[in-house]
Amino acid sequence: MFGLVIAAGTVHANGRLIGAMSTSPEPDVPARERLTSVLCRSDLVAYRGAVADVAEEVRIRGPRGVEELLAERLGEPELRAVLSRVPGGADAAVSSLLEDVGRFRPNPRSSARDLPALVRIYLLSQVDSVWWRGAPTFETDLDVLHSKELVDLDPLRRRGRLHFQYRAQSDGIRRRAGDWLVRRISPGRRPHTAGLRFTRARWELIALLNDLAGELRAALPRETPSIWVTSLVRSVEHQNRLRALGYAAVLPSSHCVGYGVDIEMRWFRRFDEDERLAALLVERHEAGELNVIDEGQAWHVCISPGACEVLARADHRALIDEDQAPAGRR
């Protein structure tokens, strides 16, 4: 495994930061300005180190006194440099984290296996919040299903346009029985995940995933399966369902604006002995294209506004047909 903290585990190399997003409307901030001046590299490096220190202190102290510790540490300059830029400011971020800490119960479903992991994931996710502050969120499931900014994945997959893998959530007894049979007969064929609730995504994120899959395909043996996506866009409504079930589903979240994706890592490592996928994600993270959080089984990835600008200038007519192109892209 790599040696640089990402979230519930470690990352690699020299480090940048990693993290999640925002719901409150704010004046639009140009993407390049948001990336370069709002979160400069020195702020991110200092923030990452401070997050690691706070999580370690939570681990050492244990559950008692965690709220006092967080209230004290989260006022430090290294942390406020980022937290003061999230929607609502540092006080809102601290209040939300303390609320999550108060309701935290260890849960095998959650990527936050313990309290330090919860604190780390939440704090690192705030980078997404700064990047995508002011972006409109998908509040309800219907918002996701009817959005003209999202592309349906299934038709693209049928035409061979997708180079990554996913499965939709099972929605009936027959389909769930088929999933169970596959796991019994061939347990390593695919990761054991619930599947995507919504098989829709922003086309920039589709292009990113195809690009990642293409780089891996060129570097790994031909029989290696492609990367597996476990979560894409979510509504705030669904995010709250996950929170009620005990998942470490932070709010605000980059999933709820369509710029977050979770990529299966534990299953893929059996085919990727050199962990090239992890190295590739970290490389893009350090280049400022992605924000990555190691959450154990899966890694959370958020695309940066700057990377979206690059993808927006690319010609993806070969990927998305005219009848699927989001409004304004035709």
Per-residue pLDDT of the chain (330 residues; tens, 9 = 90+): 333 444 333 333 333 333 333 333 344 444 444 443 357 878 888 888 999 999 999 999 888 888 888 888 888 999 999 999 998 998 899 889 988 888 888 877 788 889 999 999 999 999 999 999 999 999 999 999 999 999 999 999 999 999 999 999 876 555 544 554 545 554 556 677 778 999 999 999 999 999 999 999 999 998 899 999 999 999 999 999 999 888 888 999 999 999 999 999 999 999 998 899 999 999 998 888 899 999 989 999 999 998 888 877 764 544 555 445 554 444
Q: Report yes or no: 297 and 248 within 8 Å, Cβ to Cβ.
A: no
The predicted model scores a pTM of 0.80
Contacts of 78 (CB under 8 A, 6+ apart): 46, 47, 49, 50
Name 198's Cβ contacts closer than 8 Å, sequence gap at least 6. 141, 144, 145, 232, 233, 234, 235
Cβ-contact 194, 262 below 8 angstroms: no
Name 303's bridge partners: 290
